[in-house]
Structure 1
Amino acid sequence: MTSDLSVFELRRNALGRLVYTGADGVAHEGITPVRAFPLSAPDEGLSLVATTGQELAWLPRLSEVPQPARQLLEQELAGREFMPVIRRLLSVSTFSTPSTWTVDTDRGPATLVLKVEEDIRRLPQRGHLLITSGHGIVFLVPDLTALDRHSKRLLERFL
Structure 2
Amino acid sequence: MSDVQSTQSKQFQLSRNAFGKLIYTAVGDDEVHEGVVPVRAFPIAAPDVGIALVSTDGRELAWIEKLSDLPDAIRLLLEEELANREFLPEITQIKHVSVFASPSTWTVATNRGDALLVLKGEEDIRRIGESALIIADTHGIQFLIRDLKKLDKHSRKLLDRFL
Q: What range describes the TM-score normalised by the shorter chain of this pair?
A: 0.7 to 0.9
Determine if the alignment matches structure 1 residue 13 to structure 2 residue 20: no
Q: Deviations over 1:129-149 (max 9, x none)?
A: 221222222212222223223
In structure 2, what is the equivalent of residue 102 of structure 1?
107
In structure 2, what is the equivalent of residue 35 of structure 1?
40
In structure 2, what is the equivalent of residue 45 of structure 1?
50
Deviation at 1:2, TM superposition (A): 5.6
Superposed CA RMSD in Å reads 2.0
In structure 1, what is the equivalent of residue 70 of structure 2?
65
Matching residue within 55, 70, 92 for 1:87:
92
Q: Distance in 2 between matches of 1:71 and 1:3?
A: 21
- Residue identity opposite 2:24 in structure 1: Y
Instruction: Give secondary structure in 2 for the equivalent of 1:68.
Output: helix
Q: Deviations over 1:82-109 (max 9, x none)?
A: 2212122122222222222111222221
In structure 2, what is the equivalent of residue 134 of structure 1?
138
Q: Distance in 2 between matches of 1:42 and 1:108?
A: 21
- Runs of 5+ unmatched residues, structure 2: 1-5
Determine if the alignment matches structure 1 residue 153 to structure 2 residue 147: no
TM-score scaled by length of structure 2: 0.85
Deviation at 1:47, TM superposition (A): 0.8
Instruction: Give secondary structure in 1 for the equivalent of 2:68.
Output: helix
Q: Deviations over 1:2-56 (max 9, x none)?
A: 6325x10000111111100124312111111000001111222111111222222
The structure with more strand, counted as a fraction of residues:
2
**Count of aligned positions:** 157
Matching residue within 113, 118, 128 for 1:113:
118
- Residue identity opposite 1:149 in structure 2: K
- Runs of 5+ unmatched residues, structure 1: none
Determine if the alignment matches structure 1 residue 56 to structure 2 residue 61: yes
Higher mean displacement: 44-53 or 58-67: 58-67
Q: Distance in 1 between matches of 2:151 and 2:72?
A: 37
